[in-house]
Amino acid sequence: MSNVVPDIELDCVGLYCPMPIARTKEEIENIEKGQVLKVEADDPTAEEDIPRWVKLAGHQLLKFERTGEIMSFWIRRLK
């Protein structure tokens, strides 16, 4: 899964809870089932909040990376 190519990217850097989750939810509803959304965030709570939301919403977290303060999440829409 190291070469996951997103269909769309969402920049949530500089946004704080609950905005990264709210924007992720909004954006994932705008893509097709099976497509991948890449979310970048720097809110420390996003590291736990986004994976938790992905699971509860019934989607799939394909990959997580951290580069300094920036966290990147690759999420496949399943529903």
* CATH number, domain with residue 63: 3.30.110.40
The answer to whether position 16 is within a domain reads yes
Contact yes or no for 36/42 (Cβ under 8 A): no
| Cα 35-19-27 angle, rounded to 5 deg | 20
Residue 3 lies in a domain: no
Q: Is 57 within a domain?
A: yes
If we measure between CA atoms, which residue out of 6, 16, 7, 5 comes closest to residue 41? 16
* pLDDT tens sequence across 10-54: 999 999 999 999 999 999 999 999 999 999 999 999 999 999 999
Residue 48 lies inside a defined structural domain of this protein? yes
pLDDT exceeds 90 at position 69: yes
Domain that holds residue 41: 8-76
Instruction: Tell me if 37 is assigned to some domain.
Output: yes
Name the band, by pLDDT with cuts 50, 70 and 90, for residue 63.
Answer: very high
pLDDT at 3: 86
pLDDT for the residue 2? 66
* Geometric angle at alpha carbon 6, from 34 and 29, rounded to 5°: 50
Among this protein's residues, is 12 annotated catalytic?
Answer: no
Is 2 within a domain?
no
Question: What does the pLDDT read at residue 1?
Answer: 56
Q: Distance (Å, rounded) from C-alpha 62 to C-alpha 25?
A: 16
Considering the domain boundaries, does residue 39 fall inside one?
yes
Of the candidates 17, 22, 70, 78, the residue annotated as catalytic is 17
Q: How many domains does the chain have?
A: 1
